[in-house]
């Protein structure tokens, strides 16, 4: 009934609009008219609004920085991450500089040269020198950025196996992660999805001698200060191993092994004590406390307080639980790491 009434009202409204339009149509003269073309008054109003708009852009920028600067990622927790952050800073400074100036020119000109009836525009079609200047300046700036960027990129992607990195396999499947350590020999055993059976969830080839001491876990522990070489595999669809705090990411592709290497520099404990993290955790806990009040009022369980941990996130659309496919990363001292690793079961032990 309600639906019927709603439809009826919509129809009647439509009819009313149509009729009003007809009356409107009949009441006006048939001559062409110029009333829908901007007049000097429109030019003036919109010219001023253009000036207002560029100020709006600056204001929204300032507000965003002021309100949300603290949500940005904390300082890089890896060696190469510092390089990325520096490059990012340089790029950002250039972007803001260029952006602020060009936006100003664009909108200021729109304001300054707003149309007036008897004003004459200047016939100005070409200026080779000017165009040369603003071709060559981007060329120089970009050349600098490209070279800087390429050096950073090659440094990150060229993995030197001579400095004996810790080899860790990151194994992705819908919708969770596993990490596999090479064990005492720091060498991963062969694996293939065709060997997946029972507890051998990663399809590791048990007959490969290198595989015997492999250790499979679902919490990633990394020793601080040692280079880690990640070998990524996927069991089903594309996933992406994204470790934002370490400025690291690589897709996990079924059918091939991809890799990424970095050296963690800040342990989880140290990171938790950093001011920006302390502030962030406090902010998040305030939000959670507030949400908990609403939850307990409804008779549900309150949220647990949050403590900072590094995260490995899936960053390539992979299915319904993509949004919650994550694994905790713990960076600790070499001793702690070794102690932890010694407690984990090796593949041989698991398969028995």
Partner 1 sequence: MSAQVQNHAEDHHDDHGHHHKETFITKYIFSQDHKMISKQYLITGLFMGVIGIAMSLLFRLQLAWPDKEFTIYEVFLGKWGEGGVMDPNMYLALVTIHGTIMVFFVLTAGLSGTFSNLLIPLQIGARDMASGFLNMISYWLFFLSSLFMVLSLFVEAGPASAGWTIYPPLSALPQAIPGSGAGMTLWLVSMAIFIASSLLGALNYIVTVLNLRTKGMSMTRLPLTIWAFFVTAIIGVVSFPVLLSAALMLIMDRSFGTSFFLSDIYIAGEVLHNQGGSPVLFEHLFWFLGHPEVYIVILPAMGLVSEIMATNSRKPIFGYRAMIASILAIAFLSTIVWGHHMFVTGMNPFLGSVFTFTTLLIAIPSAVKAFNWITTLWRGNLQMNTAMLFSIGFVSTFISGGLTGIILGDSALDINVHDTYFVVAHFHLVMGISALYGLFAGVYHWFPKMFESRMMNKNLGYVHFWITAIGAYGVFFPMHFIGMAGLPRRYYTNTSFPYFDDLTDVNVVITIFAIITAAAQLVFLYNFIHSIFYGKKGPKNPWKSTTLEWTAEVKHIHGNWDGPIPHVHRWAYDYSKLNKDESDYVIPGQDYAPQHIPLQENEEEMNH
By CB under 8 A, the residues from 233 to 262 that bind partner 1 are: 235-238, 240, 242, 244-245, 247-251, 253-256, 258
41 versus 162: smaller Cβ distance to partner 1: 41
Dihedrals phi, psi of 326, to nearest 5 degrees: -145, 165
Q: How far is CA 196 from the centre of its chain?
A: 33
* Site residues (CB under 8 A) for partner 1, limited to 154-183: 154, 156-158, 173-174
Residue 341 within binding range of partner 1, rule CB under 8 A: no
Residue from 6, 7, 16, 130 binding partner 1 (CB under 8 A): 130
154 versus 352: smaller Cβ distance to partner 1: 154
* Site residues (CB under 8 A) for partner 1, limited to 172-231: 173-174, 192-194, 196, 203
Residue 269 within binding range of partner 1, rule CB under 8 A: no
Residue 292 within binding range of partner 1, rule CB under 8 A: no
187 versus 326: smaller Cβ distance to partner 1: 326
> Comparing C-alpha atoms, which of 291, 288, 322 is closest to residue 305?
288
Structure tokens at 37: 């073309």
43 versus 210: smaller Cβ distance to partner 1: 43
Note whether 180 and 257 are within 8 A (CB): no
Note whether 87 and 149 are within 8 A (CB): yes
- Scanning 158-274, the segments in alpha helix (DSSP H) are 268-273
* Site residues (CB under 8 A) for partner 1, limited to 73-102: 73, 81, 83-84, 87-88, 91-92, 94-95, 98-99, 102
Edge to edge, the sheet with strand 220-223 lists 220-223, 326-332, 310-314, 239-243, 248-252
Tokens 């960076």 belong to which residue? 331
> Comparing C-alpha atoms, which of 254, 207, 265 is closest to residue 232?
254
Least separation in angstroms between CB 11 and partner 1: 16
185 versus 236: smaller Cβ distance to partner 1: 236
């Amino acid at each position: 009934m309600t639906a019927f009434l709603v439809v009826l009202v919509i129809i009647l409204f439509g009819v009313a609009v149509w009729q009003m339009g007809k009356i409107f149509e009949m009441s006006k003269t048939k001559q062409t008219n110029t009333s829908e073309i901007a007049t000097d008054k429109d030019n003036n109003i919109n010219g001023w609004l253009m000036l207002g708009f560029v100020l709006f852009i600056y204001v929204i920028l300032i507000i965003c920085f002021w309100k949300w600067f603290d949500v940005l990622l904390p300082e890089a927790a890896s060696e190469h991450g510092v390089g990325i952050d520096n490059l990012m800073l340089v790029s950002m400074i250039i972007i803001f500089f260029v952006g602020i100036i060009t936006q100003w020119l664009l909108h200021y000109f729109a304001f300054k040269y707003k149309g007036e009836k008897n004003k004459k525009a200047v016939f100005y079609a070409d200026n080779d020198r000017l165009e040369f200047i603003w071709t060559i300046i981007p060329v120089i700036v970009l050349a600098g950025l490209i070279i800087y960027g390429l050096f950073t990129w090659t440094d990150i992607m060229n993995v030197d196996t001579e400095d004996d990195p810790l080899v860790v396999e990151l194994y992705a499947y819908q919708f969770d992660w596993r990490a596999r350590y090479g064990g005492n020999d720091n060498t991963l055993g062969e694996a293939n999805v065709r060997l997946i059976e029972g507890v051998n969830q990663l399809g590791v080839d048990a007959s490969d001698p290198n595989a015997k001491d492999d250790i499979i876990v679902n919490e990633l522990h990394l020793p601080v200060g040692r280079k880690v070489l990640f070998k990524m595999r996927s069991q089903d669809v594309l996933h992406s191993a994204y470790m934002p705090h370490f400025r690291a990411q690589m897709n996990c592709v079924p059918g091939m092994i991809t890799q990424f290497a970095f050296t963690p520099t800040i342990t989880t404990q140290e990171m938790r004590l950093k001011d920006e993290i302390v502030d962030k955790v406090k902010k998040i806990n305030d939000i959670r406390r507030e949400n908990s009040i609403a939850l307990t009022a409804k008779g549900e369980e309150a949220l647990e307080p949050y403590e900072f941990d590094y995260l490995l996130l899936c960053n390539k659309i992979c299915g319904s639980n993509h949004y919650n496919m994550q694994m905790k990363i713990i960076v600790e001292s070499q001793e702690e790491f070794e102690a932890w690793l010694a407690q984990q079961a090796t593949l041989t032990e698991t398969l028995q």
